[in-house]
Chain A
Amino acid sequence: MEETSRRYVFCTQGVCCPEIHFRLSGKRLHDVRFMGGGCPGNALLAARLMEGRPAREVMALARGVPCRNGTSCPDQLAMGMAAAIAGELAPAVSFKIDEDPQPRSCIGLIGAPKGRVDLLQRVLGSMERHGVESIYCLGNLIGDPWDDAVVEVLKHNKIVAVAGEQEWTLARDKGPDAASVSDPKRAWLSALPQAVSFQMAGKTGFAFYGRYLQTLEGYSDFEPFALEINMICDLVDFMENAEALEALKAMIPQFSARILVFGQTGRWGFWEIGDACFISVGPMREESGLSWGLLEARGSDAAFRVIREA
């Protein structure tokens, strides 16, 4: 019987690290991370020693360990685990990431198809001529009224469709168009990933739509790729706050990804900051014609350009 595995984020009191992340799989503890403060060396060792051990055994050892303010990081972990087991701490469900494990040399990026199947088919033809291996489509996927054909095209061509704010709002049964969305359609929307991670030119890439990810219940500043999201959305306002670019450059060494792709602004853009590159995905349909983004591996670098066709 498959064990249920749930991830938890416990907000601490009185200790150096503001959050403790852990996973309970059946009755065992996994993936403990003390986030945002404290001694990283001791924390990492403790996590390795606890990995896979019975949860109650760890709780018995960790509970009551003293440090400061009448508690400690291990003591707080025991509290978090107890709350999780008692059902008082809800599992953390933040954004879903579609992980593309295969290193890619040529990726196509599409923004806002808005249900235009005819235009999408033309873009796909162009991508095929350029040797695109993998296609990511960031948000604003469907049009009004909903056309099932665009969903079929996305599925048939194995396009990784990343939920934008429109899709997320509809999936939650909200917004002015929510009433027109049937249950099967809502189920499809709910199953969409909210981000995709990929590998290119020996670097990790991360693509997401935008700021709405930060509003998801369970979103933590310390979860994978949250740093990149926070920097892009809040520090540099999707690269529009030029005054903060120096600060962004200082933070990049802490990033997991070095190729960052986002779609919220709806405008094409490309920036190289430090050893990272940032790509803003524009709309598929522009006044002058169709456009899509071509991301290619060039040795140890990733090169980007917008392909425009009348």
Chain B
Amino acid sequence: MAESVKVLPEEIQFLIHVHEWDMRTREGIQRFRELKARSLPSVALDGELVYEAIIPGQEVLSEEIRRRYAAKNEDNGGPHG
């Protein structure tokens, strides 16, 4: 999963912090349950489970990240607000 994120365009990677949870560990299992995920792989954005049982394509994932980033900055009155 982390590999598919590493190949995202640089301008997208600049917008995000990535954390990969290892499902073999107790910490990873706890995070899986906190997100109320049910299958693997799962991708969460800003703590919200967005993709389950799929690895989204680059275009789809990039668009979703851009959309969320724009929405957050709109809520905050823009990047300089």
Contacts and interface: CB of A to CB of B under 8 A. Distances in A.
Contacts of B26: 214, 221, 230, 234
Interface stretch (B4-12, B29-37, B64-72): B29-37
Interface string B28-55: 0110110001111000000000000100
Given A234-B30, A235-B32, A247 B40 contact: yes
B1 interface: no
Interface in A57-115: none
A247 B39 CA distance: 4
B76 interface: no
B24 A36 contact: yes
Contact of B38 (A36, A222, A226, A247): A247
Nearest to A243: B38
B40 to A, nearest CB: 4
A36 B23 contact: no
B74 interface: no
Interface string A250-289: 1100100000000000000000000000000000000000
A250 B40 contact: yes
A244 B53 CA distance: 12
A246 interface: yes
Contacts of A214: 26
Interface of B: 22-26, 29-30, 32-33, 37-40, 53
23 contacts: A36-B22, A36-B25, A37-B22, A221-B25, A221-B26, A222-B24, A226-B24, A230-B24, A230-B25, A230-B26, A234-B26, A234-B30, A234-B33, A235-B29, A235-B32, A244-B38, A246-B38, A246-B53, A247-B23, A247-B38, A250-B39, A251-B24, A254-B24
